[in-house]
Structure 1
Amino acid sequence: MTTAPSPLVPQPFPHQAPLLRVDGLTRHFTVSGTRIDVLHDCTFDVFRGEVVAIIGQSGSGKSTLLSLLGLLDKPSGGEYTFDGVATSRLGEGPRSRLRGEGIGFVFQQFHLLERRSALANVGVPLVLAGMPALRRRSRSRDLLEAVGLGHRLHSKPHQLSGGEQQRVALARALSRDPALILADEPTGALDAESSRMIMDQLLEQARIRDSAVVVVTHDPKVAERADRVVELVEGRTR
């Protein structure tokens, strides 16, 4: 489990500034005039090259926290600093650029384009980034080869197993060399062997690229492979 960083507790990367600093983060919503508090004073750091698992019961706020870390939502209070940037002060344009350039997402549902090949799916973020077509195809091919799918470049999602589709999704998440990979139940729809392979690939690619990984999971086998575990209990980090 984890708590707020303390000078009395050795940190995993003492000579680095944290890539993520979550300091007193809160989030509440108002529904039909009633305030619903989801997150309360969440505080933790994540460093480059580190894998952190977020665990907690359903309704504990894991998905809300992941949305905040992915800059898909804004906190109600506290501060989230990403790579030295205090994100609460950013307008929508800079937030969108930081999200697109610095964060890769892997979801339980693969969210692949059904009529496009694996190569084309991996290249989608690169199209949005304006990368020229030849360079984009080369980059996408290299990424698919890196996750063991060099023989599946032209296969469409319905021609791939669940584990293969998730590896395409992982390659897509890595396409812009993000500093942070956010994985939301990445093995939840997979069998045990496919789950192991996905975690192998996720951890290997993160280490190679010196990316931080934050993975939300209910699976204790996934959590035990992380460097640290952050537990959410009724919206509070432990």
Structure 2
Amino acid sequence: MSLRAPAPETGAPPSGPAPLLSVEEVTRHFTVSGDRIDVLHDCTFQVRRGEVVAIVGQSGSGKSTLLNILGLLDKPSGGAYTFDGVDTTALGEGRRSWLRGEGIGFVFQQFHLLERRTALANVAVPLVIAGVPLLTRRARARELLESVGLGHRLHSEPHQLSGGEQQRVALARALSRDPGLVLADEPTGALDAASSTMIMDQLLEQARIRDSAVVVVTHDPKVAARADRVVELVEGRTR
């Protein structure tokens, strides 16, 4: 079933519950060989649970830098990033790591699956790290793989799977700890058109079932068109 949304809106999110994440006048700069390079400039937007937002922009516009901040892999140079009611700006790395593990799932263009490990084992990796008991994590991984249509591939290793199937394993892994936020970095970039459509169907369906917020970074206008709303980055500024 197609989950294509109406033409995506831009600007502020609709009124409703408090946002899951809030980016307020965020800046990010780096120093290279003594020279300051400004990448993000006063970025401001919010995302609520159940909402799918696409971040678009040309190469070099700051998308990857912004995604790293949203995923608590980097800190802004200025402004504030609030995630699930917590101002993350001044948090130490231990607390940031805990929030990241508990509340954020990642899906990348490259699948980053463990070779010589089954789909079931790959999906269970975050649960192993979290200390979930063996039988519980196996049951959870099986449930998630079945939910993305891979119940028949539980014991297949990555080299036995198509690109689309590998990305669905990666999606199931991202959902393993029931995150409030799913960050997808060019999730269809390495896939053909049919697999891309399938992945977006699965990503949107799983997000809506779990009432998660989804932020997709993409160059693909067809992927952006599936989102509820588009945030455009132009020379490091949100529109």
User: What range describes the TM-score normalised by the shorter chain of this pair?
Assistant: over 0.9
Superposition TM-score, scaled by structure 2 size: 0.95
* Counterpart-to-counterpart distance in 2, 1:114 and 1:168: 13
**Aligned residue in 1 for 2:68:** 67
Post-superposition offset of 1:146: 0.3
Q: Are 1:107 and 1:186, in contact at CA under 8 Å, matched by a contact in 2? A: yes
Post-superposition offset of 1:15: 2.8
Q: Is the partner of 1:123 in helix, strand or coil? A: helix
In structure 2, the gaps of 5 or more residues are 1-8
Between 42-51 and 87-96, the greater mean CA deviation after superposition = 87-96
**Aligned residue in 1 for 2:175:** 174
Q: Is the partner of 1:88 in helix, strand or coil? A: coil
**Aligned residue in 1 for 2:202:** 201
Q: In the alignment, is residue 48 of structure 1 matched against residue 49 of structure 2?
A: yes
**Aligned residue in 2 for 1:30:** 31
4+ residue runs of structure 1 moved beyond 2 angstroms?
none
Superposition TM-score, scaled by structure 1 size: 0.96
* Counterpart-to-counterpart distance in 2, 1:2 and 1:87: 26
Q: Deviations 1:175-219 (Å, cap 9, x if unpaired)?
A: 000000000000000000000000000000000000000000000
* Counterpart-to-counterpart distance in 1, 2:99 and 2:127: 15
- For the aligned residue pairs, the C-alpha RMSD in angstroms reads 0.8
Q: Is the partner of 1:225 in helix, strand or coil? A: coil
In structure 1, the gaps of 5 or more residues are 6-10
1:77–1:2 CA distance, 2 compared to 1 (3 A) = farther
* Counterpart-to-counterpart distance in 2, 1:39 and 1:89: 19
Q: Are 1:80 and 1:88, in contact at CA under 8 Å, matched by a contact in 2? A: yes
Q: In the alignment, is residue 79 of structure 1 matched against residue 56 of structure 2?
A: no
Q: Are 1:2 and 1:44, in contact at CA under 8 Å, matched by a contact in 2? A: no
Percent sequence identity over matched residues? 83
Q: Are 1:2 and 1:237, in contact at CA under 8 Å, matched by a contact in 2? A: no
